[in-house]
Structure 1
Amino acid sequence: MVTAVAPEAAAVLRGVRAALPHTGPVETPLPGGHLLRRCGPVDVLAAGVGPAAAAAGTATALALAAQPYQLVVSAGIAGGFAPLAPLGCALVAEAIVAADLGADTPDGFATVTELGFGRVRHATAHSALVAAALRTAGLPTAVGPVLTVSTVTGTAARAEELTLRHPGAVGEAMEGFGVAEAAAGHGTPVLELRAVSNAVGPRDRAAWRIGEAFAALEQVFARLPYDRLG
């Protein structure tokens, strides 16, 4: 489980500890100053903010693992696209998309895939299974593409642009694509799970619900069908 920052990792760990028999967490330092926390069969890593930090931290953990991981999960809080993903909603990515990796052209934005330089989309593993489990547990859940951005959306115009380019997107965050690229490099399936702390659009800190999102994130990881994910 790869998060950006320590409070996200703490919420994930609380959920894991509620769901699984465990010892610890047992802490293992990694190169680059990262700390891997193991709780039962789950390792949790706060790798840093943004796709580059996420990719580097994830790749380090994968390379140094004593045994191959069965699944890598990008986790944390996120912005949600209204009305599909309201505040406090769980997000299950059916795809992880690099939303701003490309070039502006006179005809509009062109992705690096369209430019012939690489990929901008990763399919995810277990999204339908996880969404069903969360809904059965009574958690409000939205399923769809989750966008990775290097600059968080702060205007209505930018939110509309992303919605038009990525129909059905349920959220945006800053790490998923980096985690997915590292996982793909090691041949490991990937998933992205988040909880909505704010609406994607005009930046209004007074409307953010960070505490509620951390509580929802904890519940997501307390309700995962761990025995079916490995």
Structure 2
Amino acid sequence: MRVLVVTAVAAEAAAVVADAGPPGAAAVPLPGGYALTRTPDYDVLVGGVGPAAAAAATATALAVADTPYGLVVSAGIGGGFPPHAPVGSLVVSDAVVAADLGADTADGFLPVDKLGFGRTVHPSPAGLSALVAAALGAAHAPVLTVSTVTGSAARAAELARRHPRAAAEAMEGFGVAEAAAAHGVPVVEIRAVSNAVGPRDRAAWRIGEALAALRKAFQQLAPVLQEQP
């Protein structure tokens, strides 16, 4: 299976390709100034921060692909919802959810699909995402996409109330999923947890630990995906 992995920043992409086997990684320029890193296991794209940037980059890579991709993976570090996903753990999506796409009302938040426009959920392929989660020892649960990272206990509680099964939050997955859906390609999101969702406390972040977990995850993932048609 040919796999496109989309990260937000270069450090996440470096974790994905760190152990690329021979002949190693090769850079492939794409329109728009994007650069694809091609390895024997994955094509890896740094798409930028946030859902819009991620969607634009993913759509570009899919549109110009010389052969079709069988899977798109949105990957990187992110926040974890206690107790589902402690710091240093992994989360694999069973659904990618746009958690703040909608409208505030006097009666609370209304997602955009309840307003009659678009969608807010992209299910991940059930069998494949469960297989990936099992192989990585990861939580298999919804991953939320937000345009503003949660920085307060009140917002964390509100998201947990609206999405009680959610295990992680990040900023790119839904954009990647929208682009993948437009091209008819399934999507899975993989997040290594660097911090708890809640009050912003940079001293408590464990970015290095999360990047190491992400690197190990993609080492373990390669043989699993190679067995897929």
Bin of the TM-score, shorter chain as denominator length: over 0.9
Return the match for 1:167 from 159, 164, 168: 164
CA distance in 2, matches of 1:175, 1:229: 25
CA distance in 2, matches of 1:107, 1:132: 39
Deviation, structure 1 residue 56: 0.2
- The alpha-carbon distance between structure 1 residues 22 and 124, as it changes in their structure 2 partners (threshold 3 A), is farther
Deviations along 1:93-125, whole A, 9 cap, x unmatched?
Answer: 100000000001111100111011010000112
2:198 corresponds to which residue? 201
- The alpha-carbon distance between structure 1 residues 159 and 229, as it changes in their structure 2 partners (threshold 3 A), is farther
Deviation, structure 1 residue 41: 4.1
Deviations along 1:42-101, whole A, 9 cap, x unmatched?
Answer: 100000000000000000000000001000000000000011100000110100000000
Specify every segment of 5 or more residues in structure 1 that has no aligned partner in the other structure, as ranges. 136-140
2:116 corresponds to which residue? 116
2:133 corresponds to which residue? 131
Determine if the alignment matches structure 1 residue 3 to structure 2 residue 7. yes
CA distance in 2, matches of 1:56, 1:227: 27
1:18-167 paired onto structure 2 within 5 Å: 21-125=21-125, 126-135=128-137, 141-167=138-164
CA distance in 1, matches of 2:130, 2:102: 29
RMSD: 1.0
- Where 1:32 maps in the other structure, the secondary structure is helix
Runs of 4+ in 1 over 6 A off after TM superposition: none
Deviation, structure 1 residue 189: 0.7
TM-score (normalizing by structure 2) = 0.94
Deviation, structure 1 residue 29: 1.1
Q: Is the 8 A contact 1:71 1:229 kept in 2?
A: no
1:13 corresponds to which residue? 17
2:214 corresponds to which residue? 217
Paired residue type of 2:130: A
Deviations along 1:189-229, whole A, 9 cap, x unmatched?
Answer: 11001100000000000000000000000011011112234
Deviation, structure 1 residue 24: 2.8
The percent identity for this pair of structures is 66
Paired residue type of 1:83: P
CA distance in 2, matches of 1:219, 1:170: 20
Paired residue type of 1:12: V
CA distance in 1, matches of 2:36, 2:63: 13
Specify every segment of 5 or more residues in structure 2 that has no aligned partner in the other structure, as ranges. none
Deviations along 1:141-193, whole A, 9 cap, x unmatched?
Answer: 21210000000000000000000000110000000000000000000011001
Deviation, structure 1 residue 132: 1.2
